[in-house]
Structure 1
Amino acid sequence: MDWTSAQLRSLVELTRRGTITAVAEALGYTPGGVSQQIVALEKATGMQLLRRVGRRVELTDAGATLALHAERILTTEAEAVEALERTRNEISGTLRVGLFATAAAEILPSALHRVRETHPGVTVRSRDMDVDEVYDAVAGGSVDLALGLDYPDVPIPRDPSLRVMELSRERFSLAVPTGTMSAGPGRSGGSGQAGPSGSRSGRSGRQKVSLADTREQGWILPPAGSYYGRAVLTACRRAGFEPQVLHEVTDTAATLALVEAGVGVSVVTDLMLRLRPSRLDVLELHETMERHIVVVFRSFAEHRPTVAALVDVLRTSVGRRPSRRKQQSDGKPLTR
């Protein structure tokens, strides 16, 4: 039958996500574009694959049967691409990469520069997406690999078809409006002076506070249903309190701007702080709260030449990122 990979992938994603709108967001199409793919697939098969149930759609028996085989077809296709890459004398080909906003701003540019230098035959096409969606995007084949985040307190469920490789670990600190909190008696750190970034640190490093010290503060957090939001809520509950979430925000730059404006506190990492120069205080936490930057790809693609090359470049690029924790007296970041 004369069908395309895009049509089959649209059908497979519909079984994963349940709605045309969700499929469109995952694949970077419009809802109308997804519907057109399904209609074209129905014409190619000569069978009805979807039926409307009220405002929703669901797969017919034929649609469910084809979706099951479509996954196998797409997997075989991906394996064929890998085999063809191995026949070439140089590493070349096109990779589709999914990534979240912070990675797009702070990790991808240097990685792409490195790829151009070391593997000029590799073309990278990237897509910005919700960080909680990157795992499904890789599993569904809409991207070849993705940069994502994982939280030890709320680990993302592992799909056995995926390989998740840790690139680096970041420890969270507390971002507060300038001058509103201090380390308090008996805690390490001094008041210090606000540097070019606005953060304060003494000679012995950042001030230390406990999450419990924020119980009377208003918080700026992503939705509680997100992995990030759940990770912060879990850490706060372990510290013995429920954070008062005043502003539900997913954008990191907006979060930093709200902290700077004095409307609440939030947790931040060095990578997050690099997104927007802000006048605020950054206090070290007594509690250990981390997030892991990871690269995700399908297990069978681990030895695909282009995937292996980009993963190696990402590991190098993330390892060389300057840290805000290492500052010269003039405020300029030191390279590691």
Structure 2
Amino acid sequence: MKWTFEQLRTFKVVAELGTMTAAAEALGFTAGAVSQQMSALQGSIRRPLFARDGRRVTLTDAGLTLLRHAAVLLEDERRAAAALSGPQTQQRAVVSVGVFGSAAVSAMQPAISYLRNSAPNVAVQAVEVDVETMPLAVQESRIDIALGLNYGDAPQAPLRGVESQTLHQEPFLMIVPPTEREHLRTAQALIEHANSSDWILPPVDTYFGRACRFACARSGIEPNVQHLVTDTAVSIALAESGIGITLATPLMIGLRPTAAPTAVLPGEPSRSIVAIVRSSALERGSVRAVRDALVHAFRPGAGRAKDPRPTTGFSR
């Protein structure tokens, strides 16, 4: 069905006034122009809209159905026109942000608080997305912008039309069983102990699992992986229980705090929190505002929870 808003407006006036002539006078058209619009509308719908009642016209069942929906469509058009004709700062926009656990908890609250002052008509909708598929979700426009990850030793392949901006960099931390604190006195002692201990790591076919193994290799450690665990909180809990060493980052520990001893992995491999966005999406002021808010969220003093620091003296 191909109708125009002008036809719907004319139809609504005809239905309200009861004659083509009265509608023409009210709209400033000729009676012939009104009749022509109604003929085109009825031809598009292919069902009779009017029934004659002397000199007046009444609506058929199809006409009453169309009138009900036309009123909704015309009101929506009016609101859209009013919103777009007003100042740009008054136009409300919703930006979807792909998030994952540790970065979401750390960044979203300060970012949203920042937007309330810098761009009050921009709303954020957080959408949880698997961090490994985050760049593709952005490229396919399933989300507008995303918090993602990049590991220096295991970088993700670039995608056409997608760009990344580093927001925050943090080290890999070893979390060791509490009873093994004495092995953290020197970097060499830590490496030797790590090479003779059991480990708890994600599977090698996950992005974090691969990054952990590359980070260990950079540090001169070949982990004896006895336990394959993807969930960070479970990995930390298992390390606390004494069954092995695991890796995390300060933001990850912020999501699941621990009193177990920690140390920066020798060689200081790191991961970066990045903002991922389609280049074309940055033409939208609302998307640029959200990216600015995410940049702000990772600045010192922005209101994020303080990153936990390693508990060993030699590491930092």
In 2, Cα distance between the equivalents of 1:121 and 1:209?
55
CA distance in 1 between counterparts of 2:307 and 2:182 reads 23
User: Does the 8 Å contact 1:212/1:236 carry over to 2?
Assistant: no
Q: Which has the higher helix share?
A: 2
Paired residues of 2:184 and 2:190 also in contact (CA < 8 A): no
1:246-265 map, 5 Å: 246-265=226-245
Q: What residue in structure 2 maps to residue 94 of structure 1?
A: 94
Q: For residues 213 and 326 of structure 1, what CA distance do their matches in structure 2 show?
A: 17
Deviation at 1:274, TM superposition (A): 0.9
Distance 1:121 1:260, change over 3 A: same
In structure 2, C-alpha distance between the alignment counterparts of 1:310 and 1:269, rounded to whole Å = 25
1:324 and 2:308 aligned = yes
Any residues of structure 2 matched to 1:194-233 within 5 Å, and which? 210-211=190-191, 213-233=193-213
* Letter of the 1:325 counterpart: R
- TM-score of the pair, normalised by structure 1: 0.61
Percent identity at matched positions?
34
Q: Distance in 2 between matches of 1:236 and 1:325?
A: 19
Note the C-alpha offset of 1:179.
2.6
Q: Displacement, 1:155?
A: 0.2
Structure 2, unpaired ranges of 5+ = 3-83, 312-316
1:145-224 matches, cutoff 5 A: 145-183=145-183, 187=186, 210-211=190-191, 213-224=193-204
Q: Structure 1 residue 326: deviation in Å?
A: 9.5
Secondary structure in structure 1 of the residue aligned to 2:199? strand
**How many residue pairs align between the two structures?**
226
Summarize deviations over 1:57-81 as a string: whole Å, max 9, x none: xxxxxxxxxxxxxxxxxxxxxxxxx
Partners of 1:293 and 1:151 in 2: CA distance: 9
Q: What code does the residue aligned with 1:292 have?
A: S
The amino acid that maps onto 1:323 is D
Distance 1:165 1:181, change over 3 A: same
Partner SS state of residue 217, structure 2: helix
Contact residue 209 and residue 286 of structure 1 kept, 8 A: no
Runs of 4+ in 1 over 4 A off after TM superposition: 84-87, 208-212, 238-241
CA distance, structure 2, for counterparts of residue 220 and residue 293 of structure 1: 23
1:1-336 aligned at under 5 Å gives the runs 88-90=88-90, 92-183=92-183, 187=186, 210-211=190-191, 213-320=193-300, 321=304, 322-325=306-309
Runs of at least 5 residues in structure 1 that lack an aligned partner in the other structure: 3-83, 189-207, 328-336
Report the CA distance shift for 1:85/1:277 in structure 2 as closer, same or farther (over 3 A). farther
Q: Is the 8 A contact 2:139 2:278 kept in 1?
A: yes
Given that 1:91 and 1:305 are in contact with CA atoms closer than 8 Å, whether structure 2 keeps it comes out as no
Q: Distance in 2 between matches of 1:108 and 1:262?
A: 34
Please give the secondary structure, in 1, of the residue aligned with 2:88: coil
Would the alpha carbon gap of residues 267 and 94 (structure 1) be closer, same or farther in structure 2, given more than 3 Å must change? same
**Residue 286 (structure 1) shift:** 2.2
